[in-house]
Structure 1
Amino acid sequence: MKTAPIQLKMREQRRRWYGHVLRRSEDHPTRLALDFEAPGKRPRGAPRKRWKDVIKRDLAEVGAMADDALIE
């Protein structure tokens, strides 16, 4: 029995969830959380990894655009 690497399954699930979030209305809490920018200054150090950035990287790796996530 062959199984897919866990990283591939995680990317697939993130893209699927991203599609669900994008289909929500603009005023839905999950959609608001996607576009939320925290006020104030962030602490020193490396930039925080945001879910939105991970999704963009996942989509770029498979050669898809953000709108393509709606199709899946």
Structure 2
Amino acid sequence: MKMLRWAGGVTRLDKVRNEFVRGSFKVAPVADKLKENRLRWFGHINRRGDDYSVKTALNILTKPRGRGSSLSTWWTRIEKDLKALNISPTTTQDRRSWRLRTRRPDPN
């Protein structure tokens, strides 16, 4: 956001909302782009063979966390993203439909 403000010549003192600055440059929100990249990587990993090292590392059981608020892991974020989009992990095998359902283009 700081780079967009700098490029547009807008400072925080101008009291212009981030949504307006992002809309003037026609850029999608960073959170949406992060979700898109996370799901793209998940699809890439799921299409690989079962002997692939990263895929076997994802299947390693982790121990439960201690007291306090539990930190969000990459795997829990993926599960939440899939649930929000109502997508099954088996959809990754069909690359075209996976891309259509997970891609978030920049606004026009």
Q: Same fold (TM over 0.5)?
A: yes
Q: Which portions of structure 1, spanning 4 or more consecutive aligned residues, are displaced by more than 3 angstroms?
A: none
Larger Rg, first or second structure (1 or 2): 2
CA contact (8 A) 1:14 1:55 kept: yes
Alignment pair present for 1:58 and 2:81 = yes
Distance 2:65 2:86 in 1: 31
Distance 1:59 1:53 in 2: 10
Q: What per-residue deviation string (whole Å, max 9, x for no partner) do you get for residues 8-51 of structure 1?
A: 00000001000011112112110011111135x64323334221
CA contact (8 A) 2:47 2:92 kept: no
TM-score by length of 2: 0.56
Query: How do 1:1-72 and structure 2 match up within 5 A?
Result: 1-38=25-62, 42-70=65-93, 71=95, 72=99
TM-score by length of 1: 0.79
Between structures 1 and 2, the one with greater helix share: 2
The number of equivalent residue pairs is 71
Q: Aligned partner of 1:58: which letter?
A: D
Structure 1 unmatched runs, 5+:
none
Distance 1:55 1:61 in 2: 10
CA contact (8 A) 1:15 1:55 kept: yes
When structure 1 is superposed on structure 2, of 6-15 and 18-27 the one drifting more is 18-27
Distance 2:82 2:70 in 1: 20
